[in-house]
Structures are given as structure tokens and as C-alpha cells.
Amino acid sequence: MKNPNLSLQKIIQHEIPITQSMGITYDDFQDTTCVISVPLAPNHNHKGTAFGGSLYSACAAAGYGLLYHLQVKENLIEFDLLLASGNINYLKPVQDDFQVEATIITDDWTKLLKKLNTNGFGKIVITAHVMIGEEKNLCDFSGVFVLKSRKP
């Protein structure tokens, strides 16, 4: 049986090539979460810890993956998906391969669907956390993502 996570990963890698260069693997898609794995080797800085730009990009990629998964599930492919803004707090050095978990609030998704049906445009906040094993508070990210109809 074909792995649906692998299919979504290939599409995302095509649309956002840096995800492949970073070695991002999309491990799990659920209705409210997306978990990715990221190797340290291609994403380290001069101190041997994860580069801040890579951490930001990984968090954005996890959020993008979650929304893209929901777009496919809800048959909303005619909408463009964009990151409008994002903020990250670097709480502890990331010294090993890491995971990122992006999360969406169900009520916010429901509100977004209504906005898309009404005016073809909507924004939603997705949060993401960088973790290594049980240590979950290495970085906190919050991003505003936009879905916008391609129809005029």
C-alpha cells in the first residue's frame, strides 16, 4: 500500500525545494497536527547547534505541511497557501536531530472554512514546537498562514 505521507512529502518538496535540502521528513499528518523530523547535519551553525534560520524554516514547513494536508483532505486545492508572518522564540540550543510538531485549533479551522466559502480568503494561526525526544520546549513558533482563492 502506498504511504500517503510520502506522497504529500514529495509534493511539498517539489513546491518548496528547501525542505528536501534540509532533509525534512513528514512523519505524521492528523486533523490538528503535523510532525516532521529534521537532521542536524545539513542544518547546523558554526557552534554545532541548529541554525536559527533552519529552525524557523522547519517550523514554517511543518505548518505548511499541516495546512496542505487539510487542503487535500477538504478538496481545497484551488486555494493558494502562503505564510503571511511568523514569530519564533529560541529557548534552548538544539544539539541533535529534532522534530517539529505543528498544531492547529479545530475551531479556528472551522472558522477559516466558513471564510473561504464566503469570500475566498482566510487567515489562520498555526503554532509549532521544536523538540528532541521528550524535551519539547526548545523553540516556539507562531505563524499566520493565508489561504486565498485563485479564482478572480
Q: pLDDT value at position 3?
A: 60
Total number of domains in the chain = 1
Global confidence as pTM: 0.94
Which domain covers residue 51, as residue numbers?
A: 4-149
Strand-strand pairing, 98-103 and 25-29: unpaired
Q: Give the pLDDT of the chain (152 residues) as one tens digit per residue.
A: 356 677 889 999 999 999 999 999 999 999 999 999 999 999 999 999 999 999 999 999 999 999 999 999 999 999 999 999 999 999 999 999 999 999 999 999 999 999 999 999 999 999 999 999 999 889 999 999 999 999 87
Strand-strand pairing, 121-132 and 135-149: antiparallel
Residue 42 is given by DSSP the state G
The whole-angstrom separation of Cα 38 and Cα 94 is 11
Indicate which CATH number applies to the domain containing 91: 3.10.129.10
Exposed/middle/buried for residue 15 (C-beta within 10 Å: 0-12, 13-18, 19+): exposed
